[in-house]
Amino acid sequence: MLRMWASGGSVLPAHHRRKWVSSGCAPTPVDAADFKTYIFPLLFFKRICDVWDEEYQEIVDETGDEQLAWFPESHRFQIPEDCHWNDVRTKASNVGTALQRAMREIEKANPDTLYGVFGDAQWSNKDRLSDALLKDLIEHFSKLPFGNKNVNSDLLGDAYEYLIKKFADATNKKAGEFYTPRSVVRLMIDMLDPKEAETIYDPACGTGGMLLAAVQHVKEQHGDVKRLWGKLYGQEKNLNRCALDLLGSHANAIFSNRKYDLVSFEKVLTRQPQSGLYKAQEFLGRGTKIVNMGELFGFDTIDSSLDMKRMELTQEEVSKYQLTPDDLLFGRRSIVLEGAGKCSMIGDLQEPVIFESSILRVTVNPEIVLPQFIFEWLRSPKGTQQITRIRSFTTVAGIAGSDLKRIVVPVMPIKEQLAISDELSSMRASVGALSQRQTANRALKKTILEEVLGGWDVH
């Protein structure tokens, strides 16, 4: 594992008094490319706790009232009982479990600001992170004060980018391949000074950070950002990744820039998670259409245009399992990890359609949330993180209905939900068209080279 520490008694001060070295501890099975998955959450965790301690001490020093210093209103972030950095630091065993619990509880206590900030690293996996290794890492971080008196937010941002570069160096990659320093982005955008309705092009867009910064600039100048949609263009070697990352970044920006309440999923459901029907093979081949994992995994919308198997059912079975427009389907178990928790909407069904036992069905209350809005939320980075957390894997991957109903979903006015759903759906359609064009172009190029140039290998 890599260690970071500061010289001169102050963490990451100006003049780059930062050091990055290889430790003398035993080799770890964590690859260098995965270090950031663990280092960044620890950095955020320590920062949140140190700022909380500073706020507590300031109130005590000013008022002498320790009870006042404990009030939630006295702190920008809430830290539940037994979830402070110092609480985890005292653990002698099962350190990863304690760390994971603390991070999850802090996220739950601050749903509007911190939900998902710690990522989905498997801290409790002792094959990768032993108690001794984690305690060693925690002790090194404990030497570094991350409160506002020692580290302001700009300096912490610089440190974050510094670490990204070092992680790239450790894996023999150039940091410029996947990130541009914020200061460079800000300078370029300020120089370009993009206006609403102008066309903006990034020739090496990566995940689209520069384009999103341009949108933010227009917004700060009180321009109408809606006039930019359809006029943002980017070029990237990996087109599929670029398009999907940009879509994910845009979805994240949409949900981050709006005010909404986060509520438990079960509170917006008129039907709690229900497993589908299982019947013997002898009933297949006739009767009612049935959605299998193949359709769920392959399509975001289930409608009558899909070629589905049929099953002979009783009228009672049809009534119990028939799909409705307000339903959402989730993969309950799957032989591939991505299938567990995969969500699909219900489109236009011209006849009764039911679903099989490897699928969960929930029905949302359309007066509170729209099914397409929940679908888009679950496809966003924040929603995806929640599904990832409730996945389990034994012989097959799966999610439980009891866990699914406890994830959180946003609630906002129906008009806003509809606008967000339409915007993200339109972008998703563009991404799909891009993917199809790229696949077709590759196939055409390969055919030309095989027929004209004698079968050169094409990648």
Longest dimension (CA), the chain: 85
Three-state SS letters, 200-252: EEECCCCCCHHHHHHHHHHHHCCCCHHHHCCCEEECCCCHHHHHHHHHHHHHH
pLDDT of residue 359: 95
pLDDT of residue 431: 58
Which strand (E) or helix (H) includes residue 434? Answer: helix 414-452
Give Cα separations from 211 to 107, 179, 182 (angstroms).
29, 13, 13
* Domain span at 358: 270-411
How many C-beta atoms lie closer than 10 Å to residue 282's C-beta? 7
Q: How many structural domains are present in the chain?
A: 2
Q: Is the pLDDT of residue 26 over 60?
A: no
Kindly state the average pLDDT of the residues 14-31.
40
Question: Per residue in 323-364, pLDDT tens?
Answer: 999 999 999 988 777 788 999 999 999 999 999 999 999 999
pLDDT of residue 427: 67
Q: Is residue 27 part of a domain?
A: yes
Q: Is residue 223 part of a domain?
A: no
Q: Is the pLDDT of residue 91 over 60?
A: yes
Kindly state the average pLDDT of the residues 50-57.
90
Q: Is residue 447 part of a domain?
A: no
Q: Is residue 140 part of a domain?
A: yes
- 3-state DSSP call for residue 279? coil
How many C-beta atoms lie closer than 10 Å to residue 27's C-beta? 6
Last residue of a domain, one of 175, 196, 228: 175
Last residue of a domain, one of 133, 150, 175: 175
DSSP for 321-380? Answer: H---TTEEEEESEESSGGGTT-EEEE---SS-EEEBTTEEEEEE-TTT--HHHHHHHHHS
Residue 343 corresponds to which amino acid?
C
Tell me, yes or no, whether 168 and 22 share the same domain: yes
Task: Give the whole-angstrom CA distance, residue 430 versus residue 354.
Answer: 30
Tell me, yes or no, whether 44 and 148 share the same domain: yes
CATH of the domain at 310: 3.90.220.20
Kindly state the average pLDDT of the residues 382-408.
84
pLDDT of residue 86: 95
Question: Per residue in 184-207, pLDDT tens?
Answer: 888 999 999 999 888 888 887 665
Task: Give the whole-angstrom CA distance, residue 343 versus residue 172.
Answer: 37
Kindly state the average pLDDT of the residues 239-251.
51
Task: Give the whole-angstrom CA distance, residue 136 versus residue 155.
Answer: 25
Q: Is residue 182 part of a domain?
A: no
pLDDT of residue 74: 77
Helix H segments across 90-238?
Answer: 95-109, 131-142, 153-170, 182-192, 209-220
Question: Per residue in 119-146, pLDDT tens?
Answer: 777 788 887 788 888 898 899 889 888 8
pLDDT of residue 73: 72
* Mean confidence (pLDDT) of the chain: 77
Kindly state the average pLDDT of the residues 291-311.
90
Tell me, yes or no, whether 282 and 142 share the same domain: no
Enter the tokens of residue 389.
Answer: 């957390």
Q: Is residue 422 part of a domain?
A: no
pLDDT of residue 140: 87
Q: Is the pLDDT of residue 251 over 60?
A: no
Q: Give the pLDDT band (50/70/90) at residue 247.
A: low
CATH of the domain at 111: 1.20.1260.30
More confident residue, 373 or 420: 373
Q: Give residues with Cβ within 8 angstroms of 21, minimum separation 6.
A: 2, 3
